[in-house]
Amino acid sequence: MNADWLQGNIEAVLFDLDGVLTATAKIHAICWKRMFDAYLKRRAALHNESFSPFDTETDYKAYVDGKLRYDGVASFLQSRGIELPHGTPDDDPDQETVCGLGNRKDRMVGEILASETVEVFEGSIRLVHWLKRRSMRMAVVSASKNCGAVLAAAGITDLFEVRVDGVVAERMNLPGKPAPDTFLHAAGMLKVAPERAVVVEDAMAGVEAGRSGGFGLVVGVARHGNADALRASGADLVVSDLGELLPESEQF
């Protein structure tokens, strides 16, 4: 593919992290399942109900993928008709609140990140280096509060001028994806108008955020055969790997 997707006075590219730059989406999916299944099993036993496990395909993509952690917990619980107190971000991971369950999942992720290396998608990193040589402004926009640790573990922190993650969203009281606020905040930090920035996402919620934010181009990364769903969510361009966006001379 040539670089036509950069035409139109594009000045910045805003990347999601998990599933776009790093192969950590599978870690998050595993931890969501472990946390929710343990909770749902205990709830089923207490209420003498049948246990219906968390599905890492349908439930993950529909309710938690790309969203801020507590939003993901609340969204999935709502899908099961379960109401819990929201709690506060300081809740102990063992508390039965939305924040407590979210913190329980975060603890699981932290344990895995402390013991395993973080893989990057080589096509994505080649694209980032190519954009950097073109003096393109770049940011990472992630719902994860582990974003900084993941970037550091992957050795790619210095490639991006700006990071807007779950920590920043909480501090600035920014609603998470599919609201466009985190992407708009990143564009503002780069001093680039949304119509002159590209959003790169693998989650439907992130694609929806890019579309509703009025960004110049929304690129969907379909790593799991979900190209049609990403297009339906508002992606202008869908690829299976970001290396496809490089000029042919740079792809190998």
List active site positions. 16, 18
Q: How far is CA 103 from CA 95, 96, 224, in A?
A: 9, 11, 27
Give the Cβ contact number of residue 212 at 10 Å.
17
CB-CB contact of 51 with 160 (8 Å): no
Cα separation, 180 vs 198, whole angstroms: 13
> Among candidates 244, 249, 229, 226, which has minimal Cα distance to 5?
244
**Which stretches within 121-196 are classed as H helix?**
122-133, 147-154, 166-172, 181-190
Position of tokens 């190998």? Answer: 252
First to last CA, the chain: 12
User: Residue 234: left if φ>0, alpha if ψ -120 to 50, beta else—which one?
Assistant: left
CB-CB contact of 164 with 145 (8 Å): no
Structure tokens at 76: 């999935």
Cα separation, 170 vs 247, whole angstroms: 38
Cα separation, 146 vs 106, whole angstroms: 8
Give the Cβ contact number of residue 42 at 10 Å.
12
